[in-house]
Amino acid sequence: MIWDPYNECMDVEQRARLQVWRLRETVARLKANVPFYRERFRDIDLEPEDIRSLEDLEHLPFTTKDDLRDNYPYGLFAVPLEEVVRVHASSGTTGKPTVVGYTAEDIDLWAECMARSIGCAGGTPHDILQVSYGYGLFTGGLGLHFGGERMGCTVIPMSSGNTERQLMMMRDLGTTILACTPSYALTIADTARDLGISADELKLKSGIFGAEPWSEGSRKAVEEMLGLSAHDIYGLSEVLGPGVSNECEAKNGLHVFDDHFIPEIIDPATGKRLPDGEPGELVFTCITKRCLPLIRYRTRDVSTLTHEICSCGRTHPRMGRIRGRTDDMLIIRGVNVFPSQIEHVLLGIEEAQPHYQLVVRREGRLDVLEVQVEVAGELFSDTVRRLEEVERKIAHALYTALGITVQVKLVEPKTLARSEGKAKRVLDLREGV
């Protein structure tokens, strides 16, 4: 279902004119209301009327997470606090969280974008949506919640955790769409198997999974185990929350709702814009938000963009699934390694379970990457030779994919910590890293 055909299927040139008009209006508003941007624009002699085409966006300054931190908590808000009806916050890597604000109009915009997302995932007003993202300062729970209500779904505000209860509600209430992180979807699927609940006993048809990178392999695993069609959703609180982009039924990239957020891909080292198809850092410019319309916000997420028109009829550009974070990227003996690459390899190996942990340590002068993988319990009652054989098989597959030697350690089922939110996959024990 296309929720908003007028905007989602708009002629590309017509939308470009709308984007330019909205960008100019946003720059004027920031210049008037936010000292940080007023100075940035003055530094480059930028007046709102200088923006005549989308190419002019490239001359605008970037905004970074550090800028948000330096202006903590309200310094970048473009409206007085009395107009702000809600705040959310994401955990910062060092100390203070990143605080974001919404006016009533922003909340309305968010619900619209989320309804578009749910529509992309095949949702309709007839659906029963179980929201198993955490509710609270994190944008996942409330974002999906308001979007589901806007769509007209029956929303079950489960929040995350208590997996057995999640499954009971899912079965008893006839949930048709599950929304949570992909790692939690795997946990739910595992628990269903342990409790002897088959996919046939559930009415699930679709899943909306995001807030952390995941792979095609994870998609297949969750789809098989829960009997649903899994869709990737993307968003971040600095830009909106979930609902910045979503995969449609074509599952060939996520439509970015670019009448609200203009996406770019840049080279993280030079800041230069990259052409369609080339991987780089995702950057967004908010052109309709009232409280926090960030200009060229650097997400640190690695992705690609395409402006080719999709078979579903939507004319929004599509971003590729997130390949990792520019700052999560591990550099092992000079080679760039994204955890998602390792996950992808493991999911292609029959003996490996989709639970793993990466441990990086320094032995002498050498960086060593150890991949701990859960395997089926039966394997441990087998011979030692059989275990070694599986270790070698995994190590070889990883060597082929990454180009570096890794140590593989097989562990028994349920040894590694399970996630109820974002998975923590990497333990970096190197000093000074």
Stretch that binds Zn ion, among 49-57, 85-93, 170-178, 240-248 (CB under 5 A): 240-248
By rule CB under 5 A, what count of residues binds Zn ion? 5
416 within 8 A of 356, measured Cβ to Cβ: yes
CA distance 300 to 188: 29
Q: Which is nearer to Zn ion, 91 or 311 (CB)?
A: 311
298 within 8 A of 63, measured Cβ to Cβ: yes
CA distance 270 to 116: 34
Helical (H) or strand (E) element with 172: helix 163-173
Stretch that binds Zn ion, among 2-10, 127-135, 302-310, 406-414 (CB under 5 A): 302-310
Sign of the alpha-carbon torsion through 121, 122, 125, 129 = negative
Could you say whether residue 9 binds Zn ion (CB under 5 A)? no
To the nearest whole angstrom, how small is the minimum distance from the Cβ of residue 250 to Zn ion? 5
Q: Which is nearer to Zn ion, 252 or 336 (CB)?
A: 252
Could you say whether residue 248 binds Zn ion (CB under 5 A)? yes
Kindly report the CA angle at 263 between 260 and 269, in degrees rounded to 5?
145
CA distance 425 to 428: 10
Q: b vs e for 191-203, b when ≥16 Cβ sit within 10 Å of the residue's Cβ?
A: ebeeeebebeebb
Strands of 206-210's sheet in order across: 154-156, 128-131, 177-180, 206-210, 229-236, 241-247, 254-256, 318-319, 305-306
Q: Which is nearer to Zn ion, 248 or 369 (CB)?
A: 248
Write the DSSP assignment of 274-294 as a string of letters.
Answer: --TT--EEEEEEESS-SS---
Q: Which is nearer to Zn ion, 68 or 120 (CB)?
A: 120
User: Where in 127-166 is the site for Zn ion (CB under 5 A)?
Assistant: none
User: Where in 304-343 is the site for Zn ion (CB under 5 A)?
Assistant: 310, 312, 314
To the nearest whole angstrom, how small is the minimum distance from the Cβ of residue 312 to Zn ion? 3
Angle between helices 216-226 and 339-347 (to 10 degrees): 50
Write the DSSP assignment of 178-215 as a string of letters.
Answer: EEE-HHHHHHHHHHHHHTT--GGGS---EEEEESS---
Stretch that binds Zn ion, among 39-47, 165-173, 241-249, 362-370 (CB under 5 A): 241-249
Q: Which is nearer to Zn ion, 83 or 216 (CB)?
A: 216
Stretch that binds Zn ion, among 3-11, 17-25, 248-256, 352-360 (CB under 5 A): 248-256
To the nearest whole angstrom, how small is the minimum distance from the Cβ of residue 15 to Zn ion? 15
Stretch that binds Zn ion, among 107-115, 250-258, 259-267, 350-358 (CB under 5 A): 250-258
Please state, as a whole number, how many other Cβ atoms lie within 10 Å of the Cβ of residue 391: 18
Q: Which is nearer to Zn ion, 250 or 376 (CB)?
A: 250
To the nearest whole angstrom, how small is the minimum distance from the Cβ of residue 248 to Zn ion? 3
Token pair of 214 as six digits: 């995941």
| Strand, helix or coil for residue 327 | coil
To the nearest whole angstrom, how small is the minimum distance from the Cβ of residue 2 to Zn ion? 9
Q: Which is nearer to Zn ion, 101 or 242 (CB)?
A: 242
To the nearest whole angstrom, how small is the minimum distance from the Cβ of residue 323 to Zn ion? 20
Write the DSSP assignment of 238-251 as a string of letters.
Answer: TTTEEEEEEE-TT-
Helical (H) or strand (E) element with 42: helix 35-43
Q: Which is nearer to Zn ion, 123 or 293 (CB)?
A: 123
To the nearest whole angstrom, how small is the minimum distance from the Cβ of residue 116 to Zn ion? 11
Distance of alpha carbon 185 from the chain centroid: 14
To the nearest whole angstrom, how small is the minimum distance from the Cβ of residue 211 to Zn ion? 21
Q: Which is nearer to Zn ion, 145 or 314 (CB)?
A: 314
To the nearest whole angstrom, how small is the minimum distance from the Cβ of residue 287 to Zn ion? 22
CA distance 271 to 273: 7
Q: Which is nearer to Zn ion, 207 or 293 (CB)?
A: 207
To the nearest whole angstrom, how small is the minimum distance from the Cβ of residue 231 to Zn ion? 11
Binds Zn ion by CB under 5 A, chosen from 28, 54, 250, 397: 250
**Type of residue found at 68:** L
Could you say whether residue 28 binds Zn ion (CB under 5 A)? no
Q: Which is nearer to Zn ion, 320 or 354 (CB)?
A: 320
To the nearest whole angstrom, how small is the minimum distance from the Cβ of residue 255 to Zn ion? 6
- Which stretches of the chain bind Zn ion, using CB under 5 A? 248, 250, 310, 312, 314
